[in-house]
A and B are shown apart, each in its own frame.
Chain A
Amino acid sequence: MGGRPPALALLLTATLAGFPAAADSPPAEEDWGNEPAPPSDDWGDDSSSTDDTISFDESDLTLEAARALSLTGFIRSDWGFWLERFGDDPPPDGRAAWSKGRQSLDLVLTGKQDFFRFRLAGHGEYDLRYLGDQAGSWDDFDDATEETYGWQILLREAFGAFSLGPVELTIGRQIVAFGEGDALSPLDVVNPRDNREPGLADLDDIRLAVLATRLAVFAGNHRVELMVIHEADFGLRSPPLGPCSAFNEVIPDAFRPLLVGKDVRFVDLQDRFDIELQQPLLRWVYKGPELDAGVYAAYVLDKQGTFAFPDAASVVDPTVKQLSLELDHQSYGVVGTSGAWAWDSLLVKWELGAQIQRAINVGDAAALPPRVEVERHSLIDVMVGLTYTPFSDLQLALEFQKSTFVTDADEVLFPIDLPIFALRMNYQLLNQRLTLGAAVSMFGLTSADEIGVLARASVDYEFIDGLQAGIGFIHYTPSDTLGPLSGLSTHDQLFLKLRWDFTVL
């Protein structure tokens, strides 16, 4: 969600075809709202001339009976074009500037009967850009990238929930959001994410369901929930040599020629289903008068993981065609508290958490040979968010997050303690048909070398119920030193989307 300054919004409003913007000027400031009440025959009821412009077919007011079973879905078409990626060396016919041609279908089946409800959701996608690369039309990406971005079939949520009085047991693949933050939430450690396109995917698309059992007890405004994740799923990410991989920045320059022609992949050390890798989580949540609050505790596998370079012999050996970059997702503890408090037009959100004995990479990846080690450290996380609604349908939200090492940590490879600012604006017009969005995230603050910026702007328009089109632009300024946006130095992108939501049942 995002937005644009009101001036631009008003300009767009006025230029939209068919929209009667200020066809007749409203009364002057001093008179407006003070004119005498109109006579009753001029009120605008069915007999007035104003109703001639908009009329309803009263037969449409009949409702079908509500169904206990529902099948809905959406088809989505996403297209993207690199704007500067090949600026220094443009491809001969411009085809490689095409970054994305993803087509996807999502289906959701839900049902409810007495004490039982279920949800079954699936997602299928293919990307013409990467499938074309795979078919040999172009040769811009390695095999791992073509496979990761080429197509995916994902079982999303698939769970059954049983309710007995104040107790509810949910079993299956599920998505659960911890914490209060929207863009930044250090406590939101439950679900893996689709990180293939940093900053580009919508917030509501990036959480991936995970197999878990959840037992919740509800009492008034309180909820106590025990959850155990049974699956070691670390989400989707750009492969090491993929288009959005920070690993490209970690590779010592001397090694780059040696990787040409090799298939380089991330390999998770943990098995996806291992009885010994159960991840327990506990939360208490209160949502009552004026205040929301929550307390969380978890012992989870680190979704980012630590990596180790492949052995040098494999790298230099031209006969070795496949290199594995192992990711070790060690368990660590998370405890924290969150809250939200509304006051007039302001909504304040916060999270305070601790990462206990988390494994992180330290060392010097640029050294020859690279020196990358793993140490365990503890961090304190703080997130503060402020949402302000200056006037109707415009939302401004600023979130700030900072992690601080509690233990001495030198030569941390990935600066996970950088301060992060996330500013979002969302402005809706034309009875929410038109949405103007903007988001800016800034990583780092104190040193110019460490500052990275991601900026995104978009316009979405709903033509008819369920049919929506959008256009947007995303810009990346990665930091000079290794940071969250590393590897995204030439990734500015224009993106287009078309989405149709439908109901089958």
Chain B
Amino acid sequence: MSTRIRAHWLLGSLCLLTAPALAVAPGETDAAKIMAAVQARPEGNRTKSRVLMMVKDSAGRERKRVVQSRAIDFPEGRKQMMLFESPADVRNTGLLSVDYDDGKKDDDQWLYLPSLRKSTRIAAGDKSGSFMGTDLTFADMTTQDPRDYAYKMLDANASEGGEACWLIEARPNNDKTATETGYVKTELCVSKDKLMPLRIKAWVKEGKKLKFIKFDDIQKLNGIWVVKKILAQTKRGDEVESKTIIAIQEVAFDQPDVKMEDFNQRRLEQGL
């Protein structure tokens, strides 16, 4: 059974956060046990989705990105491919990620820039950088090993939008994880009913910023909870620097045309 953490919102949503596989009582106060249950839930496999990302800065200037995403599980972890559909200047830019369950093993990531006609391996340190100008980072799209975090229950009786949840702190317990993610710590509000995060607050080391993420429009499709909208914003002090809204559309899973042999350089370079 997978032990991967889904604390990072984009991957969590794209991977179609699903119903819990491990039962945890609403009165549970052991944060690590709750997060293990969150992380151990079954995932939708062979998934496809089309994702709209809108970024707006404090001056109101708006940018839109549309991404087509595919993901598939393999024995050691999960592979994910994202291909940019728009705008025109980033069309066919692709990211192939191979995320390993074993946190000690560096994930593999390749970025294909069509202007260079070359897919380039990305070093792990790059993962704290912004992903295509959004409030998300490369690290947000990779899985994290729960052994790399120390969990702490902040509030066992919190609520979010009237929904009962646990407020849990996740703090990297090693420098490597802290550097890779760029986060000092994160706070997650985990739904007791859905056993999935409803909102996340992340302390960004660089610039001492705060990131806020809210999962919205959560729908149950074919028995699986699916997040259809994510709101992320970056704040410095009280000022909102930028905000990203992510609308996940055309979600489908167990797709026969999502095949293992397509998660390679060939598909990455072929583009859309």
Enumerate chain A interface residues (CB-CB to B < 8 A). 18-27, 32-33, 37, 40, 43-45, 50-51, 53-56, 60-61, 63, 66, 70, 72-74, 110, 112, 117, 161, 166, 168, 175-177, 182, 202-205, 207, 216, 218, 220-221, 223, 285, 287-290, 292, 340, 342-347, 387-393, 395, 428, 430-433, 462-466, 468, 501-503
**Contact yes or no, B237 A23, CB < 8 A:** yes
Name the one of B59, B133, B265, B270 contacting A432, with C-beta atoms under 8 angstroms. Answer: B133
Known contacts A44-B235, A63-B66, A501-B87; A392/B137 CB under 8 A: yes
A37 to B202, CA, bound (A): 11
Beta-carbon nearest neighbor of A177 in chain B = B118
A55 to B110, CA, bound (A): 33
A6 to B91, CA, bound (A): 30
Contact code string B10-21 (vs A, CB < 8 Å = 1, else 0): 000000000000
Within 8 A of A (CB), among B177-192: 179, 182, 184-185, 187, 189
Q: Tell me which residues across on chain B come within 8 A of A387, comparing CB atoms.
A: 123
Is B154 at the interface (CB under 8 A from chain A)? yes
B216 smallest CB distance to A (angstroms) = 9
A395 to B60, CA, bound (A): 28
Interface segment, one of B23-31, B39-47, B204-212: B204-212
Known contacts A218-B266, A432-B133; A287/B60 CB under 8 A: no
A189 to B160, CA, bound (A): 59
Is B220 at the interface (CB under 8 A from chain A)? no
Beta-carbon nearest neighbor of A21 in chain B = B236
Is B37 at the interface (CB under 8 A from chain A)? no
Beta-carbon nearest neighbor of B228 in chain A = A61
Name the one of B122, B237, B266 contacting A26, with C-beta atoms under 8 angstroms. Answer: B237
**Contact yes or no, B54 A60, CB < 8 A:** yes
Known contacts A175-B117, A431-B133; A54/B63 CB under 8 A: no
Q: Tell me which residues across on chain A come within 8 A of B201, comparing CB atoms.
A: 37, 43
Chain A CB count within 10 A is highest, among B115, B155, B184, for B115
The 3 closest A-B pairs by CB, nearest first: A345-B125, A24-B237, A204-B115
Known contacts A218-B266, A289-B108; A392/B128 CB under 8 A: yes
**Contact yes or no, B124 A433, CB < 8 A:** no
Name the one of B88, B125, B167, B243 contacting A74, with C-beta atoms under 8 angstroms. Answer: B88
Is B55 at the interface (CB under 8 A from chain A)? yes
A23 to B207, CA, bound (A): 13
Q: Tell me which residues across on chain A come within 8 A of B115, comparing CB atoms.
A: 202, 204-205
Name the one of B56, B106, B266 contacting A56, with C-beta atoms under 8 angstroms. Answer: B56
Is B78 at the interface (CB under 8 A from chain A)? no
Q: Tell me which residues across on chain A come within 8 A of B207, comparing CB atoms.
A: 26
Contact code string B108-135 (vs A, CB < 8 Å = 1, else 0): 1010010111111111111011101111
Q: Tell me which residues across on chain B come within 8 A of A50, comparing CB atoms.
A: 233, 235, 238, 240
* Interface CB pairs A-B, < 8 A, 7: A61-B247, A66-B85, A110-B271, A340-B120, A387-B123, A431-B241, A433-B133
A504 to B98, CA, bound (A): 34
Q: Tell me which residues across on chain A come within 8 A of B120, comparing CB atoms.
A: 182, 340
**Contact yes or no, B272 A70, CB < 8 A:** yes
**Contact yes or no, A342 B133, CB < 8 A:** no
B104 smallest CB distance to A (angstroms) = 12
Contact code string B220-244 (vs A, CB < 8 Å = 1, else 0): 0000000001010101111111110
Beta-carbon nearest neighbor of B155 in chain A = A37
Is B158 at the interface (CB under 8 A from chain A)? yes
